[in-house]
Amino acid sequence: MKGTAHKIGDDINTDYIIAGKHKRDTFDAALMAPHLFEDLDPGLASRIKPGDIIVAGKNFGCGSSREAAPMVIQAAGVSAVLAPSFARIFFRNAINIGLPLLQCDTSAIDDGDLLEIDIAGGVIRDKTHKKDISFKKLPEAMSAIFREGGLVPYLKKHKQFPV
């Protein structure tokens, strides 16, 4: 994965990711994607290009268990979200749809940095600052789900949950 970093702050809740008022009109994540993070930065969704990476602070995805939040991030073309910590249910919802959430120190990454992620190698390469950042690897069961593109594709292929 390779893309531009879009840096946001700590404690980004699911209402900041996608406001509830947009779920009232549609369940289609692609139709909600232009409203991604609009209460934080109204122009952010329009600056995200396919493959770009959200770089957040601690406790990303806190708040409600709104399943649309990771789906809208993915529909906007984001290839991964980096943060020091994630809300537990948001983390699981993201893995279930195949959206990579990588736990790492994001303090040295700047908005606009060009990042390259080597999932297998467990490293994020900040091409702008020419430095590597390691991330916490996923447990094997979650990695297996992620490799298949999410929980539903995993179950269709393997007919059972990973152990």
Q: What is the CATH number of the domain that holds 25?
A: 3.20.19.10
Is 133 part of a structural domain of the chain?
Answer: yes
CA atoms of 110 and 130, how far apart (whole Å): 12
d(CA 120, CA 144): 12
**In this structure, is residue 66 part of a structural domain?**
yes
For residue 163, being part of any structural domain is answered with: no
**Residue 129 sits in which domain range?**
2-158
Q: CA angle, 159 as apex, 153 and 163 as ends, to 5°?
A: 95
- Evaluate whether residue 148 is within a structural domain: yes
Number of domains forming the structure of the chain: 1
Q: What pTM was estimated for this model as a whole? A: 0.93
pLDDT tens track, the chain, 163 positions: 999 999 999 999 999 999 877 766 778 899 999 999 999 999 999 999 999 999 999 999 998 777 889 999 999 999 999 999 999 999 999 999 999 999 999 999 999 999 999 988 899 999 999 999 999 888 888 888 988 989 999 999 999 887 6
Pairwise CA distance, residues 120 & 11, whole Å: 28
In a domain, 106, yes or no: yes
Residue 124 lies inside a defined structural domain of this protein:
yes
| CB-based burial label for 99 (10 Å; 0-12, 13-18, 19+) | buried
71, 73, 3, 64: which is closest to 40 by C-alpha? 73
